[in-house]
Amino acid sequence: MFVSDFRKEFYEVVQSQRVLLFVASDVDALCACKILQALFQCDHVQYTLVPVSGWQELETAFLEHKEQFRYFILINCGANVDLLDILQPDEDTVFFVCDTHRPVNVVNVYNDTQIKLLIKQDDDLEVPAYEDIFRDEEDSGSDSDGSEPSEKRTRLEEEIVERTMRRRQRREWEARRRDILFDYEQYEYHGTSSAMVMFELAWTLSKDLNDMLWWAIVGLTDQWVQDKITQMKYVTDVGVLQRHVSRHNHRNEDEENTLSVDCTRISFEYDLRLALYQHWSLHDSLCNTSYTAARFKLWSVHGQKRLQEFLADMGLPLKQVKQKFQAMDISLKENLREMIEESANKFGMKDMRMQTFSIHFGFKHKFLASDVVFATMSLMESPEKDGSGTDHFIQALDSLSRSNLDKLYYGLELAKKQLRATQQTIASCLCTNLVISQGPFLYCSLMEGTPDVMLFSRPVSLSLLSKHLLKSFVCSTKNRRCKLLPLVMAAPLSMEHGTVTVMGIPPETDSSDRKNFFGRAFEKAAESTSSRMLHNHFDLSVIELKAEDRSKFLDALVSLLS
């Protein structure tokens, strides 16, 4: 069921209990987790934190801990499947689910005792009505007890007619139910950021701090970076956070010189959508930001030439553009945003600036929200073999605290490597024509032995690569029909088990609703061909597949979507 009063029905319930937190491996979930941890520290709530990267880990961890805990909190996992069916908990176990995955499973919506959904009701959820989905089994006819045989016969005939009618009604109801559920569950999409939901809880409790506000901003920015929400939704939510920002940071907006060594200040910015540019050189950032790389077509000689023309149009000396942003002439930096925006407009890039936020820690350290998203994401998905996934998770979580700036800077260095690898892989896919039209969708498969291929076995990295590849392909192809197609991407997962990760991305033209239909389609294609598939990821449009089943699976997918 949906929780309407988060304070009463959630926070005050868990405040006096020991709770277990299951947190998914994405930046928004980490930010929501940081806010909740800060609240729990305020109120001395005892909790155990368990990172989970997929259903298998969640099931295993639940089995391991279900004896010690009665209350479980799930962040960015659990809403879009029948949770009780998957975890088979005891009857007194309660799950609080704060998750952006939509649609919310109907059993979770209508279970009043064990599933409590911490989900904003103003997201247009369009949940089907209870009576359209659930139906009490009616008694199948009562025993009649008439005295006269003739009376008995007519009663029996009536009963047979009644039963037949009931069966027919039931069949009609079941057919309608199938249609309603199909329409409701057909597309996968994302709702309000979990970090924002947790921040609103903190605000309701009057315990919201500037740090928590920053985490909410990073959570929302993660959704934007990963294309999980529409531009409209992003701008609306930025507006909500902007009001909190002016409430928390109004004291020192006009007085630049009020910055003290240890103070934290958040400001609203209308900044460039260039990845990490304040921690890199402008040239590197232009080359490795998906928006500019795709528009310039930087994988081609002609594209490189256009980039040179763009820089010349701005009148920036190459020496300045190629050195670290920090070291650029102050006189150039002053009007840089306006200069870049003006030239970008001439080159057909109308959205060069975006609404976002920045944070200052003391005098020296300034980060844009997207810098933190890229750094945290790279720490979490780091391919380095120095530890388990849990170590990477903890490191990423730590990098969000202002006391761990060294970890954040390390994350920025990893992020640069990752962005470079992404653009290089896109260039090689486009130059060797690896993106092929299969009819109803485009298909691209990364080969074993491709540089950085292990980096892209991780879901978030593969997802960013796929989305950026599709943007670049749409800019590079002359074929009008191909510009409208979705993309299916495959990357090697485990040599040892002979598995690949397969992921589906909606068409680039569908940016107005960001809905993804691949989850259900993958399920049907695997079912009809008995392909060995594992739905381990919390996003239904990401699956693990046996490499040798790949071709029959793709054939089934083509015929299903044609």
Residue 534 neighbours by CB distance under 10 Å: 15
In Å, what is the CA distance from 187 to each residue of 127, 184, 540?
13, 7, 10
Give 255 or 469, the one with higher predicted confidence: 469
Q: What are the tokens at 311?
A: 């820089």
Which domains occur in the chain, in start order? 433-561 (3.10.310)
- As a whole number, mean pLDDT of residues 241-260 equals 70
What is the rounded distance in angstroms from the CA atom of residue 288 to the CA atom of residue 285? 5
What is the rounded distance in angstroms from the CA atom of residue 456 to the CA atom of residue 458? 5
Q: What is the per-residue pLDDT across 17-59, written as a single tens digit (0 to 9) for each?
A: 999 999 999 999 999 999 999 999 999 999 999 999 999 999 9
What is the rounded distance in angstroms from the CA atom of residue 552 to the CA atom of residue 557? 9
Residue whose entry in the numeric block shows the structure tokens 């659990």: 78
Q: In the predicted model, is pLDDT for residue 313 greater than 70? A: yes
Q: Which residues of 211-238 are buried (b: 16+ CB within 10 A; e: fewer)?
A: bbbbbbbbbbbbbbbbbbbbeebbeebb
Q: What is the per-residue pLDDT across 66-107, written as a single tens digit (0 to 9) for each?
A: 999 999 999 999 999 999 999 999 999 999 999 999 999 999
- Using CB atoms within 10 Å of the CB of residue 155, give its burial: 0 to 12 exposed, 13 to 18 middle, 19+ buried: middle
DSSP H/E element including 544 = strand 542-546
Which pLDDT does position 452 carry in this prediction?
Answer: 83
Instruction: Select the highest-mean-pLDDT range: 249-258, 284-293, 446-455.
Output: 284-293
What's the pTM? 0.92
- As a whole number, mean pLDDT of residues 379-406 equals 83
What is the rounded distance in angstroms from the CA atom of residue 505 to the CA atom of residue 522? 12
What is the rounded distance in angstroms from the CA atom of residue 520 to the CA atom of residue 187? 8
For the chain, the average pLDDT equals 89
- How confident is residue 310, by pLDDT bands cut at 50, 70 and 90? very high
